[in-house]
Amino acid sequence: MNGTRDIYEAETADDEGEFDPLEAATLLDQTRARAQRRLDMRSPWLSLLGAAVVLVAFGALWLSVRGQHPYTGPTAAGLLVMYGILVGWIVVVTKTHRRATAGLSGRSIRQQRAYGAAVVAALVCVSVFQGVLKHDGVSNAIVYGIYPPTAQLIVLGTLGAAIAAGREDWPGFGVGIAIGLVAAGSAFAGPIGVWLSDGVGCCVAVLGYSAAQAWLRHR
C-alpha cells in the first residue's frame, strides 16, 4: 500500500463508527461509478477496436473488388480476411460481455437475449432476400455489390439505434442512425465504391461514438 488508498478501499470492520457525510458522499459517488463501469460492457477502447475492425474488414473487401470489370463480387481471399476479423471481433465482444454480465440475472439479460435474436433474425432475412435477388436474375453488381453492405448496415444501424433508444443510450442511438445513413448514402458509390465508402463512413461514426463514450466517462 502506498498510503494513498481511496475511500472505496477503506475497509471498516466495525461498521457503527463515525462516518462523515462528506466521506459518505464520496464513497457513494465512487461506488456507483465503479459499479456502472464494471457492469457495462461498452467501453471507448472496445469501440475504438470496432472502428478498426470495420475499416479493415470493408477495406479488404474493397481491395478484392477494385478494378473488376465486369463486377463479380468479393474474392475468396477478401471474404476470408473479412470473416477472420469478424470472428476475432465476436470473440472479443463475447468475452467482454461475459465478464461484464457475470452473476447478473433478470430483466436486462432477457432483453439482451431477445435483442440478439432479433438482430440474427434480421440478418438472416437480409441474406434470404439476397438469395431471392440472385434467383430472380438481378446483376452481380447489385447482389454481391450494392445490396449486401447497404441492407445489412441499414438493418444493423437502425435496429441498434432502436435498442439504444430503449436504454436511453443517446450516443449509441446516434451512431446507429449514422451507420444507417452512411449505408444508404454509400449505395450511390456503386458496387465497388460502396465497400470503401461504408468502411470509411462507419469507421468515422464508430470513432465518434468512442469519443463520446470517453467524454461521458471522464466529464
Partner 1 sequence: MATTPVTLDELDPLIHVPARLRIVATLAALSDGDALSFTRLQEMIELTPGNLITHLRKLEDAGYVSTVKTGNGPASRTSVALTHRGRAALEAYTETLRGLLGGLDTARPRTSTPQAAPRPLPT
Q: Which is nearer to partner 1, 15 or 136 (CB)?
A: 15
| Among 87, 90, 109, 184, contact with partner 1 (rule: CB under 8 A) | 109
Stretch that binds partner 1, among 23-31, 68-76, 83-91, 114-122 (CB under 8 A): 23-31
State the nearest-atom distance from the C-beta of 24 to partner 1, in Å. Answer: 6
Interacting residues of 120 by C-beta distance below 8 A, sequence separation 6+: none
159, three cell numbers: 435496429
Instruction: Return the H-helix or E-strand segment holding 8.
Output: none
Asked if 1 is part of the footprint of partner 1 (rule: CB under 8 A), the reply reads no
Per DSSP, the three-state class of 107 is helix
Give the nearer residue to partner 1 in terms of CB position, either 28 or 77: 28
Among 2, 11, 135, 137, binds partner 1 (CB under 8 A): 11
- When asked if residue 91 is in the footprint of partner 1 (CB under 8 A), the reply is no
3-state secondary structure of 18: coil
Q: CA of 96: how far to CAs of 43, 73, 90, 147, 205, in Å?
A: 10, 34, 10, 31, 22
Residue 158: which residues within 8 A CB-CB, separation 6 or more? Answer: 176, 177, 180
- Taking CB under 8 A as the rule, does residue 19 contact partner 1? yes
Kindly state whether residue 136 participates in binding partner 1, applying the rule CB under 8 A.
no
One symbol per residue from 38 to 67: x for binding partner 1 (CB under 8 A), - otherwise; what is it?
xx----------------------------
What are the cell numbers at 151?
441492407
Minimal distance in Å, beta carbon 6 to partner 1? 6
Decide if residue 107 touches partner 1 (CB under 8 A). yes
Q: Binding to partner 1 by residue 170, rule CB under 8 A?
A: no
Residue 2 touches partner 1, criterion: CB under 8 A: no
Residue 13, SS3 per DSSP: coil
Q: Which amino acid, residue 174? A: G
- What one-letter code names the amino acid at 194? V
**Sign (positive/negative) of CA torsion 114, 119, 122, 124?**
negative
Per CB under 8 A, residues contacting partner 1 are 4, 6-12, 15-16, 19, 21-29, 31-32, 34-36, 38-39, 102-109
